[in-house]
Amino acid sequence: MTDTTTVLDTYRETPGWPPLADGATFAGDAAAVALGADERLYVFNRGPQRMVVLEPDGTYAGGWGTAADYARPHGVTPCADGDLLLVDAGSHVVDKVRTDGTRVLRLGEHGRPSPAYSGEPFNQPTDAAEHPLTREIFVSDGYGNSRIHRYDADGRHILSWGEPGSGPAQLSNPHGLCLLDDDHVAVCDRENYRIQVFDLGGTLQDTWHWHHPSTIRRSGDLLFVGELGVPAYMHGSIPDMGCCVSVATLDGTLVGRLGGRFPGVQEGRFLCPHGMAVTADGVLYVAEVNAVYLEALGLPVPPHEELHCLRRWSRS
């Protein structure tokens, strides 16, 4: 068995990555990132070009999408057929698209949210995942709802579960999710500071306490969990509370952390991990919404420089 602690000790951030050029910018908020079947990176962001495509070495390869298409990009996940699931919290839709941006399926109505906390899809959805065998789609409906929705491969609604609250199976901003295996989905119950594990019918199976979990992805026998930081009044004074990526086994046992300590926008540290992609061999890409977080803390956002908000970590 691999000594996971030793493996984590070998992780290092790739300095100066990515080398953005050709006027590409994430405007400080690279909300989510996915690794495509073509090995390119797809960065769903809040800059003027909503999807920025990068080659494996991080160089700019093009992009598409505007603010009129996607008001507040929030999540992107690859599908088994090579397509991408895009989650737009601002427009209240989940799109399945080709890698050139051509839409093949839409869930929800663009610009038309459901009533807040009604349980009906969608009101500011946050993330989505596709079942690798059935192609069913699972959506976390977080900011204006407290629900998980399940759809078949053709976009027909199957069921929903969850309600506002802090009790078992209740949710408070379900923010990120992933399939643990063919029968279970893990949900970042962000404002309840926990991850809840459900079967595909919505029955609660397990609960793991976690610090402000925002995003979760699986690679092999490990889970990678992006943790947000502390409130503004605690910022800069308490170390090792969020602003990191935690690594755990599939039963939720913590084995180590990457980044963390006192948060700052600098090498080896995270500020606001919001989306992730992990390759089969463990290369980790972390998308951060650093401009949003700095504004929430009442700190200045540098107006004339590219705020570092997409990072690559690999084993040295």
Residue by residue, what is the 3-state secondary structure of 243-294?
CEEEEEECCCCEEEEEECCCCCCCCCCCCCEEEEEECCCCCEEEEEEHHHHH
Between the alpha carbon of residue 61 and those of residues 18, 39, 150, 235, 284, the distances in Å are: 12, 12, 33, 37, 20
The two tokens of residue 272 are 């606001």
CATH number of the structural domain spanning residue 275: 2.120.10.30
C-alpha 202 chain-centroid distance: 21
In whole angstroms, how large is the CA radius of gyration of the chain?
Answer: 18
| Best CA proximity match to 11, nearest among 256, 287, 177, 227 | 256
Q: pLDDT at position 92, please?
A: 98
Residue type, 64: W
Q: pLDDT at position 31, please?
A: 98
CB contact at 8 A, 277 and 33? yes
Report how many domains make up the chain: 1
Task: Name the pairing type of β-strands 157-161 and 103-107.
Answer: unpaired
Q: Domain containing 225: what range?
A: 4-315
Rounded to two decimals, the pTM is: 0.94
> Percent of the chain scored above 90 by pLDDT?
77
Low-confidence ranges of the chain (pLDDT < 70): 1-7, 239-240, 260-268, 304-305
pLDDT tens string 36-76: 999 999 999 999 999 999 999 999 999 999 999 999 999 99
Q: Please list the residues that pair with 76 across neighbouring strands.
A: 86
Q: pLDDT at position 5, please?
A: 61
Between the alpha carbon of residue 149 and those of residues 63, 90, 273, the distances in Å are: 29, 18, 24
